Amino acid sequence: MKLVVAVVQDKDSSKLAQNLVNANIRATKLASTGGFLHAGNTTFLIGTDDDKVDEVKHIIQQSCKAREQVVAPMSPMGASMESYIPYPVNVSVGGATVFVLDIEQFDQF
Amino acid sequence: MKLVVAVVQDKDSSKLAQNLVNANIRATKLASTGGFLHAGNTTFLIGTDDDKVDEVKHIIQQSCKAREQVVAPMSPMGASMESYIPYPVNVSVGGATVFVLDIEQFDQF
Amino acid sequence: MKLVVAVVQDKDSSKLAQNLVNANIRATKLASTGGFLHAGNTTFLIGTDDDKVDEVKHIIQQSCKAREQVVAPMSPMGASMESYIPYPVNVSVGGATVFVLDIEQFDQF
Ligand code: NI
Ligand code: NI
Ligand code: NI
């Protein structure tokens, strides 16, 4: 058994959760904080058989891969002047950091 | 040293926390989300000596084991019609998913 | 690669986060609960090369090491009489619990 720990952006977390459910893979979502542009990250804990690790990583990659996104300028009312961007910009969103750990024992009660 | 990662239902988490304190076992509770019937899960991180792993798993099993529970019908006012159940039903609650990982180094500062 | 799991007190978590950023070390902060005096803990997940584990532990120690702190008496208005302390006391704050785990695979998508 392996434990896959995946740190993804909040905006990708419901897509990843749905894709894991569709593949019959059980996961636990942890609340987490921090990340780009003050958006939050979500951490998934996924226990899986050794021979399904590649499938799990493929699902994570498909659900969360880094991509460009155009961000419309925000009103200066809702943001500090310092962070005000007066024109649309491309920002990189998505992406996932994935750790695979060995599980010595696995139990369900 | 081993790291025991236990994912349990919120409703069992205070009982598990209390039973770990009674056994002098230190644990960290992480906030987590997801699970059956839209109830949340809680994840415990428990660092323990190799020879106490069985005791820790026994405490988790006693605190959280899966069992049947009668759920009274909810008023349709507070729920979508789709999920309205007009008679009491048995649902399975509790249960724990437990991963045991090897710790290479352990420090307290 | 190693995964460093560090459980620290909330009051040290922004200092630790800043010191990790200054050292170019990426970390994920998980929300967590529990700990001394009903204050919360924060858990950091830090993926790092094997030869940087000592540096990461040094940064954690410098950011979070246990120390004495004088706590002024709280008004009995805001607290139960039971916990009312009518004179300043030294309490031990800070400290960190650190687990180092081996990572079998590490990916960024
Ligand atoms: Ni294995
Ligand atoms: Ni060990
Ligand atoms: Ni390694």
Please tell me the predicted confidence (pLDDT) of residue A36: 37
Cβ neighbourhood burial of C75 (10 Å; 0-12, 13-18, 19+): exposed
pLDDT surpassing 90 at residue B73: no
User: What pLDDT is stored for residue A4 in this prediction?
Assistant: 96
* Ligand 3 is an ion; residues with CB less than 5 A from it: C 1, 102
Could you read off the pLDDT of A62-102 as tens digits, one per residue? 999 888 877 766 555 555 555 566 677 777 788 899 999 99
CB spacing of B103 vs C98 below 8 angstroms: no
State the distance from the centre of ligand 3 to the C-alpha of C48, rounded, in angstroms: 9
Q: How far is the CA of A20 from the centre of ligand 2 (A)?
A: 31
The candidate with the shortest Cα–Cα distance to A35, out of A70, A75, A1, A64, is: A64
- pTM of the complete model: 0.78
Nearest-Cα residue of chain C relative to residue A35? C28
**pLDDT category of residue A41 using cuts at 50, 70 and 90:** confident
Instruction: Tell me what pLDDT residue A68 has.
Output: 84
pLDDT at A39: 53
| pLDDT (average), residues B41-65 | 94
DSSP label at residue B83: G
Determine the pLDDT at residue C73: 64
Q: What is the ipTM of this complex?
A: 0.74
Measured over the CA atoms of residue C79, residue C81, residue C83 and residue C87, the dihedral's sign is: positive
- Judged by CB atoms closer than 8 Å, whether chains meet at A3 and B99 is answered as yes
pLDDT value at C28 more than 70: yes
Which residue of B16, B28, B46 to mutate against C (max C Cβ within 10 Å)? B28
Cα–Cα distance measured from residue A40 to residue A109, given in angstroms and rounded to the nearest whole number:
32
- Class (C level, CATH) for C2-66+95-102: alpha beta
| Angle formed by the axes of helices B53-64 and B10-22, nearest 10° | 140
Shortest CA distance from C28: residue in chain A? A34
Q: For residue C38, what pLDDT is reported?
A: 40
Structure confidence at residue A93 (pLDDT): 80
| Cα–Cα dist C106/A6, whole Å | 10
* Confidence class for position A47, pLDDT limits 50, 70, 90: very high
Q: How far apart are CA C29 and CA C20, in angstroms?
A: 12
Per CB-CB distance under 8 Å, the chain C contacts of B103 are 99-101
Tell whether A45 is within 8 A of chain B (Cβ): yes
For residue C74, the model assigns a pLDDT of: 57
Q: Is the pLDDT of residue C79 over 90?
A: no
* Ligand whose nearest atom lies closest to the CA of A53: 1
CA distance A104 to B3: 10
Chains that touch B (3 or more CB pairs under 8 A): A, C
Q: Which residues contact C59 (CB under 8 A, 6 or more apart)?
A: C16, C19, C20, C23, C25
Listed residue (B47, A29, A1, B43) closest to C104, CA to CA: A1
